[in-house]
Structure 1
Amino acid sequence: MPPKSINSLMKHLRNQGISIGGSGQKRKLKNIGYYHGYKGFRFVGDSSNRLPISDFNQIISLHAMDMQIKTLLYPHIMTIETALKNYTLEAVLSYAKSEDFDDIYRSCLTAYRGYNPRTDDYKKSWAKRLRLRQNVDGLISREQDKKPFFKHFRDRGRTIPIWAIFESMTLGEFGNFYACLDRPIKGAIVTDMGMPSQYDSESLLLSIIFALKDLRNAIAHNAIVSDVRFKTGDISKNVGKLLKSETNIGLINFSDITDYVILVVYLLGLLKLPKTNRKRLVSDYEGILLRYKKELPLGIYGSFVRTETQKKLKLLKIYVTKS
């Protein structure tokens, strides 16, 4: 079957009970894409949860809301990623007394030693360490002709220093690196960040890194984020407990995008970013929601924004003011 023209796609939408017509909406459909736009926003979370879309303008509003949330969050995610790498780099260099990855591999990436050698956890941790070694070698091979500092060290017969490797690591690769670190090094990182000692913050930070990885990748690849369909795995319930203890906000289970906003605001607070910046993030996010609450039918808007969202944002403002 040949691909449908834009006119045929508009006719198909009308056959689906969705009002669309005119050159303006035709242009908007071309701009957002039939598959990325309509196909992406005709459901929430899972393809079985179809939305009662009746007008193409509703698709336009959902797309605009999602784009604005991504635009708002992306620079903050990048700030957190950079800071996490720098906190980790400082702790690793302090323990290893070397910037050579081979030295760090021997002295710092030894999480497997925390398990009984006869257990499956020991074997899994050891295997994860081996995969990390392979992934770092692959990263160096992948980037050696792209990054000037990689070429600089390679052409002078020197090993690639850990800081250069960190510069090229994805957030997922960094998460695997952190997972392989010996527990005292993880402890030094979370202590430096100011995470609470009454929780297993070393483990919680790993869960947080992978939660952020999913969100960052979705934003970077322009995937839909407003219904958190980007989440690839369960996030430890203890992350929600940590945030409840720190912010007084309950019901945090990362089933909606507001919970990720709370996490980002909390991490920015740990990093001592100005209070005005954090307040602006919360108010800008709230402004986006209020705008599209007016534009979208309640049955559609409520599928993306939970009833407890306003209460969460009120408590988040109080937390930022006091922190």
Structure 2
Amino acid sequence: MPKTLNSLMKHLRDSGIDINGSGQKRRLKNIGYYHGYKGYRFAGKAANRLPLTDFSQVAALYDLDTQLKALFYSRVMAIETALKNYTLEAVLRDAKSEAFEDIWRKSLADYRSCTGGTYRKAWEKRQRLRGEIDSIIFYNHKSRDVIGHFRDADKDIPIWAIFEVMTLGNFGSFYECLDRRVKTAIVRDIGMPFNLDSEQRLKDMIFTLKDFRNAIAHNGVVLDVRFQSGSINTGVAQLLKQETCVGKIDFTDITDYVILLVYLMRRMGFTKTECKQLVAGYEAILERYRSELPINIYSKLIKTSTRGKLTALRQFVSNG
């Protein structure tokens, strides 16, 4: 039988979390049981329980997470849009056409440079991409004007219209299937380094951002990076360390995602002021909740290396 709010409060008290009064009862109701307790009782994985003793600590964790998502959302969306635009420009230039069928034949041809088992896997990825794009067109032709317009006019749907309705995951698959010459054009335009296989690293970054973006957009917990769907290629950390001079990057805490956002923003020509605002906003949020949360809770989420990383990141922005 579903628990009432009163019984949920009793359950929290039985779990060692002090919660009392109409104010905390209302707060629990407003933020929900999952976010109010379940989502914040551990860091990263269920076995890593946080030493919570009072509902005010749970509420502070919820507020910390919410403010981080609000800070990151517009930046992640701006980067997603920019990545698509850099890619769109390179694809149109390579295929000399905006028709998807022309791009499919000319530019989405990474598999041709592969051999043996690698060839088969790359060919299969390309075929899966075709299925993804066909599904995107089918599921959006009724609800999205940009697709429906070309359907009603019996015209080929241009690649830019498909990009409008692509998820970041779809886009990552699209980028992965591009011929290496197109990937090279993209990373050169962004300004990524020549010596660290930037073509591959950008793909890794896109899928890293995909998990991050989805957690933000769907109100998942982000502050302990539990949203990661798999390991992140160590080459991403190597590239970021070389480019930003920030050490100890391993994507086991949220600060490293700030570094990734700032790096891409700066390489894409976002202003120094925009980048500094992101870093300053992140620092301000951390400072507030470092004073509101017990150190034995805060330190399980935010590493002691954070301050040094942000100092180096500000220097990268100033020098960039």
Residue matched to 2:298: 301
Percent identical across equivalent pairs? 56
Residue 35 of structure 2: aligned partner: 36
User: What is the RMSD computed on CA atoms of the aligned residues?
Assistant: 0.7
Stretches of structure 2 lacking an aligned partner (at least 5 in a row): none
Aligned residue for 2:45, secondary structure, equals coil
Deviations 1:285-310 (A, max 9, x none): 00111110100011100010001011
For residue 122 of structure 2, what is the aligned residue in structure 1? 125
Aligned to 2:189: 192
Q: How does 1:46-65 map to 2 (within 5 A)?
A: 46-65=45-64
Matches within 5 A, 1:1-323: 2-116=1-115, 119-323=116-320
Count of residue correspondences: 320
Find the aligned partners of 1:164 and 1:212 in 2 and give their Cα distance. Answer: 22
Aligned to 1:215, what secondary structure does the other structure show? Answer: helix
C-alpha deviation, 1:235, in angstroms? 1.1
- Cα offset, 1:95, TM superposition: 0.8
Are 2:35 and 2:62, in contact at CA under 8 Å, matched by a contact in 1? no
Shift of 1:152: 1.2
The separation in 2 between residues aligned to 1:131 and 1:83, in whole angstroms, is 24
Q: Given residue 226 of structure 1, which amino acid in structure 2 is its aligned partner?
A: L
Give the superposition deviation at 1:36: 2.5
Q: Which amino acid aligns with 2:27?
A: K
CA deviation string 1:72-118 (max 9, x = no partner)? 011000010000000000000001111111111111111111111xx
Q: Distance in 2 between matches of 1:18 and 1:317?
A: 39
Normalising by structure 1, what TM-score?
Answer: 0.98
Q: Distance in 2 between matches of 1:229 and 1:16?
A: 23
Q: Secondary structure at the match of 1:105?
A: helix
Q: Using the alignment, how far apart are the partners of 2:205 and 2:122 within structure 1?
A: 19
Normalised by the size of structure 2, how large is the TM-score? 0.99
Shift in Å at residue 321 of structure 1? 1.2
Provide the secondary structure at the position in 2 that maps to 1:222: coil
Counterpart Cα distance in 2 of 1:241 and 1:105:
32
Amino acid at match of 1:63: Y
Deviations 1:234-279 (A, max 9, x none): 1111111111111111110101000000000010001111111111
Larger deviation, residues 36-45 vs 169-178? 36-45
SS of 1:303's equivalent in the other structure is coil
1:191 and 1:83 map into 2 onto residues whose CA distance is 14
Give runs of ≥4 in structure 1 deviating > 6 Å. none
- After superposition, the C-alpha distances for 1:7-34 in whole angstroms (9 at most, x for unaligned) are 0100111111111011110010011111
Q: Letter of the 2:85 partner, please give it.
A: N
**Which range moved further: 144-153 or 87-96?**
144-153
Amino acid aligned to 1:239: V
Give ranges in structure 1 of 5+ residues lacking alignment.
Answer: none
